[in-house]
Homo-oligomer: A and B are copies of this chain.
Amino acid sequence: MAERDRAYHHGDLRSSLVEVAAAMISEGGTASVTMRAIGSRLGVSRGAPYRHFSDKTALLVAVAVEGFKRLNRRLGASDTGASPSSVEKLRRMGEQYVRFALEHPAHYRLMYGKEALARQDQPELREAAGALLENLVEVIRVHQQRGEIEGGDPRAHAYVAWSAVHGLASLLIEKQIDPNVDVDELIRQTTRTLLGGLRDRSPD
């Protein structure tokens, strides 16, 4: 019961701060997030957040953690309904990953930006980002057991897959990709190429 966040003056300000900060990031980008703006949006003064976060970065880390959790949930959800006997599941995960980034560009940027990641000491962040990787590893391991993906360290495969989808997401978000290309098709092609490479490694 020691953890009751309930109402002293405001009532669970900590959660509200994270929530509002996330909303502001989505609406106006990271630059629009200032301690003063967050406070005023919650009817609270600029100093109030410092009772819950040591500094602004700590708040942003919390927002990033929240982002990783949402992303993890979403990837986990791509589980359901997938035809279970093909790499389809991995393909869907990749697709959902990129889609998440496209739908929440500023939030995604924060998750992978140095602002948040400079604080990898923060165990929560390490854990949330780590969970992403672990899920990937697990899925790959399953596919390996089914012979759908070549053997070898599943973690290495996971890194490769992660790189591919993260790279695509990043390039799309940062508008490095010609807006005329069909994004859906590009996502499909990326996952296809990736899976093709994982499936069949011809010797040198």
Contact = CB atoms under 8 A, between A and B. Distances in A.
A159 B194 CA distance: 13
A157 B196 CA distance: 13
B175 A166 contact: no
Interface in A157-204: 157, 159-160, 162-168, 170-171, 174-178, 181, 185-186, 189-190, 192-202
A123 to B, nearest CB: 14
| Protomer copies | 2
Interface in A139-158: 155-157
A114 interface: yes
Contact of A196 (B133, B185, B186, B201): B201
A159 B186 contact: yes
Contacts of A159: 168, 171, 177, 181, 186, 190
A89 interface: no
The number of chain A residues touching the other chain, given as a range, is 35 or more
A155 B100 CA distance: 24
A59 to B, nearest CB: 17
Interface string A5-41: 0000000000000000000000001000000000000
Interface of A: 29, 109, 112-114, 117, 120, 129, 133, 155-157, 159-160, 162-168, 170-171, 174-178, 181, 185-186, 189-190, 192-202
10 contacts: A112-B170, A113-B174, A117-B176, A156-B185, A160-B189, A163-B164, A193-B197, A193-B201, A196-B201, A196-B202
